[in-house]
Amino acid sequence: MLSYAMACTGAALGLRCTVRALAATGHTRRNWLLTAASAIGTGIWTMHFVAMLGFRVSGTDIRYDVPLTLVSLLVAVLVVCAGVFAVGYGRNRARALLLGGLTTGVGVASMHYLGMAAMRLHGEVSYDPLRVGLSVLIAVAAATAALWAALNTESPLAVTLASLIMGAAVSSMHYTGMFAVSVRVTPSGETLPGATAMQFIFPLAVGLGSYLFLTSAFVALSPTAGEREASASARQQQPAGTNAP
């Protein structure tokens, strides 16, 4: 449930930021899109590795290659960034949606399997190609749905419902990918290189989760474009009303 909550939180925050971006221009739009990409990307990554905290293989310990795990986080943020920027600046919305969904979906799947490649254990990991392909299709569908929702949802209720659906889709992609995994254990007394999940992934996931919640608070307290325009209009009208006889 915690991993699903992280995916939903990142999705909800990313959608709100994208809605703000589409109502803005210039560097303000760019900054909102960057925030959206970081929120969705870190939400997806955190969901994946929080779920991996419960992954066990009988007969072997599991360690994680720290640099490769960090690369998977970078990939998650960059591919989502490519998708939201395609939607945010694309003139042809349908083409931008398809291109952004495909790019982001394949990238999210790449993040998942990079994270799996970062595992170190005594044995050999293999994958069922059909289930891998299905997980990639789910990732593309989830990414396309997320970008479509960013373009077509504005009300808080619609964003909440969309984020719950997106969180379920991302979680489905993760667990479909995990069902594709088979491990043949080779017992060994050698010490595995890398960090344990609790040494590295847990603190990083907590840090990224804190970032999501703090950013959510910032977005909730930040005025929308309409609120800023109303405030500016009120300030402009105030002197005229004060000086009138």
The Cα–Cα gap between 210 and 198 comes to 17
Question: Is 240 a domain residue?
Answer: no
Cα 121–42–222 angle (5° rounding)? 165
Inform me whether the pLDDT recorded for 13 exceeds 70: yes
Asked if 22 contacts 151 with a C-beta cutoff of 8 angstroms, the reply is yes
Cα gap 226→154, rounded to integer Å = 13
Q: How far is CA 58 from each of CA 51, 118, 176, 200, 244, rounded to the nearest angstrom? A: 17, 18, 20, 21, 82
Structure tokens at 43: 């939400």
Among candidates 40, 30, 51, which has minimal Cα distance to 179? 51
| Number of domains observed in the structure of the chain | 1
Q: What is the pTM (predicted TM-score) of this model?
A: 0.79
Mean pLDDT of 97-117: 86
In a domain, 161, yes or no: yes
232 within domain boundaries: no
Higher per-residue pLDDT: 191 or 130 = 130
* 162-167 contacts, C-beta under 8 A, 24 or more apart: 162/11, 162/15, 163/8, 163/9, 163/11, 163/12, 163/15, 164/8, 166/7, 166/8, 166/11, 166/142, 167/4, 167/5, 167/7, 167/8, 167/11, 167/47
User: Is the pLDDT at 130 greater than 90, yes or no?
Assistant: yes
Average pLDDT over residues 184-200: 83
Question: Is the residue at 174 inside a domain?
Answer: yes
Residue 162 pLDDT exceeds 60 = yes
pLDDT above 90 (res 153): no
Nearest to 62 by CA among 206, 209, 194: 194
**187 domain residue, yes or no:** yes
194: in domain: yes
Q: Is residue 243 one of the residues assigned to a domain?
A: no
* The pLDDT of residue 142: 82
Residue 122 above 60 pLDDT? yes
Per-residue confidence band for 88, with pLDDT thresholds at 50, 70 and 90: confident
**Domain that residue 17 falls in:** 2-227
pLDDT at 129: 93
pLDDT of 244 strictly over 50: no
The reported pLDDT for the residue numbered 127 is 92
- What average pLDDT does the chain have? 82
Q: 168 pLDDT exceeds 80?
A: yes
Position 198 in a domain = yes
